[in-house]
Chain A
Amino acid sequence: MEAIGTVLLAMLAGSLRVSTPFLFVSLGECLTEKSGRINLGNEGVLVLGAMVAYATSYETGSPWAGVAAAAVAGLLLGGLHGAICSLARVNDVAMGIAIMLAGTGIAFFLGKPYVQPSATLLTGIPFGFWSDNAQVRNALSVCPLFLLGIAAAIALHWCFNATRVGLRVRIVGDSQDAALALGLPIDRTRFLATACGSALAGIGGAFLSLYYPGSWNEGLSSGQGLMAVALVVFSRWNPINCIYASLLFGAAGALGPSLQTVGITWGYYLFYAAPYIFTLVVLIITARGGRSLRGMPGQLSIGR
């Protein structure tokens, strides 16, 4: 019984801890997809953001400067993706893979000198102060970026539903014909949505290197940037749902390490694959509906 409690607590802690990058990347991907384009390059943005954040924090001593730098790096790489995809006949799915390769390559290249030194990290906010249990305290030490992510999700939700900008993004994403008729700048809207979405993904990367695991190395990301695409499908393109989905994916990711804490080491690698299996299941369930997925932007190329 106690073991189950330990596992559940560890999963809760893990979920709070590892969900933040999922949250940021899925919010960014959600914004991009709402405008009718898909960005698989967010995986590269995540890695580049992690590297830039770590390097900036190391050089300036301020982790928040690192977070800002990661957002700018994401903005630039996402802008590149957005700009090239605006050209006629360029395939956004394939371009995403290319941006992923280029982004990780640049991050590994420039990040070589920062593998060793230790930068100033972000500190968690101790929400577990009321408990004497060290595990609970540990579990409830929440990264400020997580709260920022929740705020961003709420802001994005409000933006889509209550503002002119949000409405325009949705029109461009839902019907190119309607956007043309209204005289909306389709390419510019998508370009900006992609760039801003990638800026969010960059902040997700900053979390990886500045909070948890809290170091920079080449194996830092385990595909969160790509899983975000499935996460957005799971969230039905709703930023608020992205929060729940990220927590769920975080919990799935924490399953293996949590079982290890109570001494179950069998099948470590299989449990490590849990979030991927979960992603696949989500994809299968959400795809069953066929063409008309509720909430899906009409211009999205994966929705053919």
Chain B
Amino acid sequence: MSTTTTVTTAPASAPVQVGDQWYPIRRTAEALLAPIAALAGAAILFSIFLLCLGASPADFLDLVWRGAFGSWFSIQNTVQRAAPLLLTALCVAIPGQLGLVIIGGEAAVVLGGLAATVAALPLINTSPIIVWAAMAIAGSAMGAFWVGISGWLRAKLNVNEVIASLVLSYIGLALFNHFVEGLLRDPASLNKPSTYGIGDENMLDTVPWLDVHPGLPIGILACLICWVLIYRTSFGFASRVTGGNIRAAQLQGLPVTKLILLACAIGGGCAGLAGAIEVAAEYGRSNASLNAGYGYTGILIAFLARFNPLAIMPMAILLGGLGAAGGLLQRRMGLPDATIQVLQGLIFVSILASDTLYGRFRWFQPRGGA
């Protein structure tokens, strides 16, 4: 029995019959309503959790709103967190089109950031444009390489990509620590081992007028490009066919190996770019701050968005907002910082469980016309 793990449980597109012109709309409604139902379910579960602890869900919601979107400062905070999440979610969503579950985005972020720093260091006295270009190229190349290993192992050696990418993630973090605390360490960084800085003049500024994190427009652009790539190119079509049924794709003569490698490289490149941007815009150097769990939250966002790059944008803002509200929750309600993690876990569980809703309701299904 074929046990192809199709993560994208997109409804098997039944042949649209004559006289059912509303079916595409109902199908979209189903795709929107199921995640919303899942989010509502997670909210209810989390409210019960809070009530058990004697905290008020209404207060919680109010604080999340204020902490995430209530003021210009909190919106900036939200956007700052959402920017790398856009890219790390793509790292999961693009290989996800082929039915692969890549969970090694975290290592791609930190190694991408490290590679970008290394590329920038010899160029710091040239112009910032050159530095930024070098950082972007080095960061994405490193990320593409690192996630590409998982893809290569999957395509060539039939190694399960979930475990491989996770193990590679741990190895990548070890490599990062090895270099940051050894060869590349700036001896002046005592408490928090860091590499040498790229210099203030080479830091990315915030976006003019809006004064938000420069990663935001880049991330949005990347999402739009990836959407076109997935839904409007033959590469995307071939990937989705492969994700639907790998045997059918092979029978059609689709270059499955190449598709897997390419998808992993593109995804990894996005995550590596996120690391490079974090270095260029936030820290100015590589240190443990890069290892902030963006890769793991990206997995959640990609699943929430059902691997659709357009849906990644609102979901990244939502999760970035939750992260931004964490500090406020800690101060005002005395809830530990793991509260957000509990909520994320509940959302994740219920969004995956909601996959079972697809096709359950006749109303959403194609109807016989004729």
Contacts and interface: CB of A to CB of B under 8 A. Distances in A.
B233 interface: no
Given A269-B181, A290-B158, A90 B348 contact: no
Given A89-B355, A105-B338, A304 B5 contact: yes
A222 B177 CA distance: 15
Contacts of B358: 89
Interface stretch (B168-176, B184-192, B223-231): B168-176
Interface stretch (A17-25, A53-61, A93-101): A93-101
Given A102-B345, A106-B345, A269-B177, A280 B168 contact: yes
B167 A101 contact: no
Interface in A106-126: 106, 108-109, 112
B146 interface: no
Contacts of B178: 267-270
B296 interface: yes
Contacts of B1: 176-177, 298-299
Which secondary structure characterizes the binding site on chain A? helix
B349 A105 contact: no
Contacts of B346: 102
Interface string A263-295: 000011110110011011001100110110000
B114 interface: no
Contacts of A98: 300, 303, 345, 348-349, 351-352
A88 B356 contact: yes
A106 to B, nearest CB: 6
Contacts of B181: 269
A189 to B, nearest CB: 17
Contacts of B349: 80, 84, 95, 98-99, 102
A89 B356 contact: yes
Interface residues of B, number: 52
Interface in B333-354: 336, 338-339, 341-346, 348-349, 351-353
Contacts of A267: 178, 182
A226 interface: yes
A93 B164 CA distance: 13
A292 B148 CA distance: 25
B25 to A, nearest CB: 22
Given A84-B353, A304-B4, A101 B171 contact: no
B234 interface: no
B103 interface: yes
A302 B5 CA distance: 8
A230 interface: yes
Given A229-B163, A283-B164, A97 B348 contact: yes
A198 B251 CA distance: 40
B341 A104 contact: yes
Given A280-B167, A299-B3, A101 B296 contact: yes
A303 B4 CA distance: 9
B352 to A, nearest CB: 5
A302 B338 contact: no
Nearest to B150: A280
Range of interface residues on chain A?
Answer: 35 or more
A261 interface: no
Contacts of A260: none
B9 interface: yes
A273 B356 contact: no
Contacts of A222: 170
B356 A87 contact: yes
Contacts of A269: 174-175, 177-178, 181-182
B28 interface: no
A204 to B, nearest CB: 18
Contacts of A80: 349
A91 interface: yes
A97 B174 contact: no
Contacts of B338: 105, 108-109, 112
A93 B167 contact: no
A91 B348 CA distance: 12
A303 to B, nearest CB: 7
A100 to B, nearest CB: 8
Given A108-B341, A112-B338, 4 more contacts: A91-B7, A176-B1, A301-B3, A302-B163
Interface of B: 1-7, 9, 101, 103, 153, 157-160, 162-164, 166-168, 170-171, 174-175, 177-178, 181-182, 246, 296, 299-300, 303, 336, 338-339, 341-346, 348-349, 351-353, 355-356, 358-359
7 contacts: A98-B348, A98-B352, A101-B296, A108-B338, A283-B159, A283-B167, A287-B159
9 closest Cβ pairs, A-B complex:
A102-B345, A105-B341, A108-B338, A273-B174, A98-B348, A87-B356, A109-B338, A269-B178, A105-B342
Interface of A: 40, 80, 84, 87-91, 93-95, 97-99, 101-106, 108-109, 112, 176-177, 222-223, 226-227, 229-230, 267-270, 272-273, 276-277, 279-280, 283-284, 287-288, 290-291, 298-304
